[in-house]
Structure 1
Amino acid sequence: MEWRQTCMLFLIFLFQVLVNEVRSQGGNTVFDIRQFGATGDGQSDSSKALEDAFSNACNVVGGRNQILVPEGTFMVTSAVFDGPCKGLIEFRVDGVIKASAGIIDDDKWVAFRYIDGLVITGEGTFDGFGESAWNLNDCKMNSQCKHLPTSIRLDFVKNSVVSGIHSLNSKFFHMKIYKCNNINVDGVHIIAPEDSPNTDGIHIGDSANINILNSVIATGDDCISMGPGNKNILIQNITCGPGHGISIGSLGKYNNEADISGITVQHCTLSQTMYGLRIKTWASDIQLTAYNITYDDVVMDNANHPILIDQEYCPSMGCDESKPSSVQIKDVWYKNIRGSSKSQSAVNLKCSSKYPCDNINFFNIDLLYQNSDNSVNANCKNVRGSASGIEKPPSCL
């Protein structure tokens, strides 16, 4: 475990060197989107100007080339930036990129694909204008619902950095990282109302060596969610809430899902969240394993369900409750988890009767009920493991 975290910290150092180099040199060439027809009046569509600026920067051989979104509000209907590029790319946002009202016939709004050595930075904002479309989201009632656009997508991107930006009121997920490798997300701010539907802060799928660091996430759904196929994910120094906490899953819904492993969540604070640290799987015949997962030094501030393994996950109607989950959860460590629970069920482990949770370990769990001396409890179902140190609530292992 220690060698893996050492490697991750070394990668973080290299990523920060890349960010600092780009910032200090300012890029070999700056492509200001206003030179390509963008107007920062908040009304004119600047989509083509953004794509043209990127295309020009992407085709410069070598160097570090910057696409600049200056101060102002630039309305963008949809923009897709495809590599590979011939040099390094910095996408700098100092102003506001604002989505058009309603929805578009796509599941992405701003997308970066097939790029090696991308830096997305600046103190500006991606405003998804989600309030114009949230009423069209029927996913709670319709399991086959059409997903609204994700604000920022990284697909098949590697050796890249996202730093400092703000994401506001996404229509669906704020950021989705898919099929990526070596991505560092550092110092971002993600904000949406508590009742906004499916506005996950950052969703990671089928990716490896991803670091989410030093960020503030307050949304209507998971602050960070991790689907199947992920390896070596470090989540560190995150302030989360409101929202649904930090989740692994859901797992076991689709055929050919890959195992998820090497997840570390540490030095985080979860405040007024519906869930805290959650692993969720569908009751289905889909087989995969979630393993080598560590939660360490996490503060709960009135999280409704601080520690939850739910292998009976079914957010909408139509699940076959007679089937146990075929997802194996094993080798999980909860260490130094402390704070307060909004419910008396502070620890709830509902594991599969077919593949019981194995080697689930608790060390120094210190949770109170709503900041009072009232007791909280722990419930275990189909779990094998151990507990030591502080046991509040008394362990059910």
Structure 2
Amino acid sequence: MSWRLTCPIMSLLMLMLLSALAKNQAQAHTVFNIKDFGAVGDGKTDNKNALYDVWKGACRSKGTNVIVIPSGTYLLGPVVLTGPCNGAIEFQIKGTLRASNSPQLGIDHWITFRFIDRLRITGGVLDGQGAASWPYNDCRKNPNCKSLPVTMRLDFVTKAWIRHVTSLNSKNFHFNLFSCKDITFDHVTITAPEDSPNTDGIHMARSSNVFVRDSVISTGDDCISLGPGSKNIKVTGIACGPGHGISVGSLGGTPNEPPVTTVFVRNCTFTDTQNGMRIKTRAPSYQGVVQDITFQDIIVKNAGNPIIIDQQYCPSKKCRNQASKVKISDVGFRNIRGTTSSLVAVNINCSPAVPCTGIELRDIDLEYDGRGGKASSDCKNAQGTSHGKQKPPSCL
């Protein structure tokens, strides 16, 4: 082979080698152990400053940067970890992060991740120590109530994965997503007592492409709640209970709310929950839209209100007798079976101002788990169809 031929080939090989080296360098993992930044896992020392220092180092580094919380119990004050970062962040919790046991009135967060692309949170325990705050969670009765910390907030976060994380006894919501995209919760465990107020498991708003799967959620409020702007949401394999079930809403409380669309909930179990599958809108309300919602292959065990659309939702109990203006359409309940603690197992109470359309009841088999009656269904201002088994008899 002549020099004229080998020279271009060698140059090409060199370019390929340099490209591979650059790619490997970009994918390199840099480990930041919080103990190397002064953290102490004794359950008493506040490690907020240590976490801020380790975050600064990880966020400005390229490649994939791994923040390690090793075994031990690390007391942590409220933190806001802000991007954008130069690379991906993996937040490995091998021990326990513990919040203050004080009420922390007027603070709306414990751990916040904000403006981050490519975030992975794995393992460990988040102990919110919420019991100190629950007596102050009285916003439904007290108009001057103060905010309480959410265990983990994700604001403007994209491409995040939360896996094998346990959240205990949050002071307020356990997880709150706002304006996020491409988020996956996988094998998370969320626990708070049945009587703990406002301890929603996962709440989201103005977020899209959210996948919650194969998780156990036991709280004092909604296991999962979808606020305005929730779009392309998929929930599968959730064991919910106790709690208030999986809820779309409440909606219509503020003007110009973006719609809730394309929600698919499948293969979930509700045990001893206050509600099962619920859509709730305020009355009176501002205009809004709920569209393309599917609940499928659901088992309920002694659940109250297994199937409920409530367009007269009024948490303060002081609402005027006016109709909701949130339009609900194309909602399917398919293959729903089990036992109900409520005599009205299917309760579809839609707005007289904007009646529900496209409601589908398919293969419903719900039996009253009590004495002195049989399960029934009740529909108001609803248009739709019924197919297959209907127990109780369909009201559509």
Question: Same fold judged by TM-score > 0.5?
Answer: yes
How far is the alpha carbon of 1:284 from its aligned partner? 2.3
Query: What is the Cα deviation at residue 103 of structure 1?
Result: 2.9
SS of residue paired to 2:35: helix
Task: Write the distance in 2 (CA, Å) between the matches of 1:145 and 1:359.
Answer: 40
1:63-78 alignment, distance < 5 Å? 63-78=63-78
Aligned to 2:325: 326
Do 1:281 and 1:312's aligned partners in 2 also have CA atoms closer than 8 Å? yes
Tell me which residue corresponds to 2:21: none
Tell me how far apart the structure 2 counterparts of residues 227 and 144 of structure 1 sit (CA, whole Å): 23
| Shift of residue 339, structure 1, vs aligned partner | 0.3
Whether contact under 8 Å (1:66, 1:90) holds in the other structure is yes
Three-state SS of the structure 1 residue aligned to 2:49 is: helix
Structure-2-length-normalised TM-score: 0.91
Structure 1 residue 317: Cα displacement: 3.4
Stretches of 4+ aligned residues off by more than 6 angstroms: none
Deviations 1:5-42 (A, max 9, x none): xxxxxxxxxxxxxxxxxxxxx97111111111111010
Q: 1:73 to 1:185 in 2, by over 3 A?
A: same
Q: Counterparts of 1:378-389 in structure 2 under 5 Å?
A: 378-389=377-388
Q: CA RMSD in A?
A: 1.6
The Cα offsets for residues 246-295 of structure 1, whole Å up to 9 and x where unpaired, read as: 00000000112111100000000000000000000001241111000000
Q: CA deviation at 1:146?
A: 2.5
Identity between Structure 1 and Structure 2 (%): 48
Match in the other structure for 1:17 = none
Determine which structure has more spread, i.e. the larger CA radius of gyration: 2
Q: Helix, strand or coil: the match of 2:58?
A: helix
Normalised by the size of structure 1, how large is the TM-score? 0.91
Query: What are the Cα deviations for residues 200-234 of structure 1, in whole angstroms up to 9, with x where unaligned?
Result: 00001000000001100000000000001111000
Q: Secondary structure at the match of 1:117?
A: strand
For residues 27 and 220 of structure 1, what CA distance do their matches in structure 2 show? 43
Q: Which residues in structure 2 correspond to 1:304-319 (within 5 Å)?
A: 304-319=304-319
Aligned mates of 1:261, 1:353 — CA distance in 2: 22
Superposed CA deviations along residues 136-156 of structure 1, whole A, max 9, x for unmatched, are 111231355323110011000
* 8 Å contact from structure 1 (residues 167, 174) kept in 2: yes
Partner of 1:348: 347
Q: Is the 1:116–1:159 contact (alpha carbons within 8 Å) kept by the matching residues of 2?
A: yes
Encode CA deviations 1:361-384: one digit per residue, 9 max, x unaligned. 010000011178952000011000
Between the aligned partners of 1:329 and 1:355, the Cα distance in structure 2 is 8
Structure 2 match to 1:35: 36
- How many aligned residue pairs are there? 370
Q: Offset at 1:101?
A: 1.7
Letter of the 1:195 partner, please give it: D
Q: CA contact under 8 A between 1:368 and 1:374: conserved in structure 2?
A: no
Please tell me whether residue 370 in structure 1 is matched to residue 372 in structure 2: no
Q: CA deviation at 1:168?
A: 0.2
Partner SS state of residue 337, structure 1: strand
Question: Is residue 152 of structure 1 aligned with residue 162 of structure 2?
Answer: no
For residues 302-336 of structure 1, give each alpha carbon's deviation from its aligned partner in whole angstroms, at most 9, with x where no partner exists.
10110110000011133122x10000000001000
For residues 169-205 of structure 1, the C-alpha deviation after alignment (integer angstroms, 9 at most, x for no partner) is 0000000011000001100000000000000000010
Stretches of structure 1 lacking an aligned partner (at least 5 in a row): 1-25
